[in-house]
Structure 1
Amino acid sequence: MSSPTPVAGLVIRYNYLWDKEKSEGFAVGSKDRPCAVVVYHSRTSDTIVVPITHSPPERGEEDLSIEVPAELRGQLGLDDDANWIRVSEVNRFEWPGIHLRALPSDPSRYRYGWSRLNSSI
């Protein structure tokens, strides 16, 4: 299976390593999750992703998360539950890296979907 071409707005399945997990000495995230590609540099394959989670932001961190609107969740192929993009931390890696994961619903794909980023999201 070949990996998709990374572009800003692509939502992939990725083994995201939270900052807290890294500070506890983990090298691999506790679970695979949707992540949005924010930056991709084609010459170096340098890639930056932000995690998408079902956990709502904690009190005082509301400005560090963006709720994914229901219509966009549907376009991206995410589930119907509330999803939040965490903008307070990122993972950086060389594409495609070792943490790209196949979708549980379709083992032949790594990507949920793609949406152009815009100022309202």
Structure 2
Amino acid sequence: MTADFPAAGQVFDYHYLWKWQADRGETEGRKKRPSCVVLVVTNQAGQHVMFIAPITSKVPGSGRAALEIPQTEARRAGLEIDLRLWVILDELNADILETSYTLEERTPRGSFSPAFTDAILREVQRLRTAGGLKLSNRS
């Protein structure tokens, strides 16, 4: 893999498009926010589809699936360590790496540990299987 190829667990600044914004017809994220690459898969056209989860300092509402980021993980990922932060797991953006205009800076802030990344992926997979995953397609 090349240095600018995102990998699971890496955290980037990304113009994340919330599902409620996409449902209103918006196509652009309103601001850059730290976001975590959950998974990268290759589609039938040979393009790399990134599934990206937002990171927020806003306490997730009831009914939302999120994982609080421990301070050690925040430090590894290049995030604020003096704030409580969560990775939102019940909604993701799907973006094609080769044509993405929203992933402007390809150098990550940092990366979560393999164990924390696996915990994120397991919960996203559980939500997907249960039908509780919302997806905004950015391609």
Query: Do Structure 1 and Structure 2 share a fold, with TM-score over 0.5?
Result: yes
Map Cα deviations across residues 6-34 of structure 1 (whole Å, 9 max, x no partner).
Answer: 11111111100000001111100111111
The 5 A counterparts of 1:34-113 are: 34-41=34-41, 43-61=46-64, 64-80=65-81, 81-95=83-97, 97-102=100-105, 110-113=107-110
Deviations 1:14-65 (A, max 9, x none): 100000001111100111111111111254211111111111111233xx00
Distance 1:91 1:76 in 2: 19
Poorly superposed stretches of 4+, deviation over 3 Å = none
Alignment-derived partner of residue 11 in structure 1? 11
CA–CA separation in structure 2 for the residues paired with 1:120 and 1:8: 12
Of 50-59 and 36-45, more deviation after overlay is shown by 36-45
| Candidates 115, 118, 121, aligned match of 2:112 | 115
**Structure with more of its chain in helix, by fraction:** 2
Structure 2, unmatched stretches of 5+, are 121-139
User: Is the Cα contact below 8 Å between 1:101 and 1:110 reproduced in 2?
Assistant: no
Q: Aligned pair count? A: 112
Tell me how far apart the structure 2 counterparts of residues 45 and 78 of structure 1 sit (CA, whole Å). 26
The answer to whether the 8 Å contact 1:100/1:110 transfers is no
Using the size of structure 1 for normalisation, the TM-score is 0.81
TM-score (norm 2): 0.72
RMSD: 2.1
Per the TM alignment, residue 110 of structure 1 is displaced from its structure 2 partner at its CA by: 3.6
Mapped partners of 2:53, 2:32: distance in 1? 13
For residue 115 of structure 1, report the CA deviation from its aligned partner: 2.4
From the superposition, tell whether residues 12 and 3 of structure 1 become closer, same or farther in structure 2 (CA, over 3 Å): farther
Q: Please give the alpha-carbon distance, in whole angstroms, between the structure 2 residues aligned to 1:3 and 1:34.
A: 19
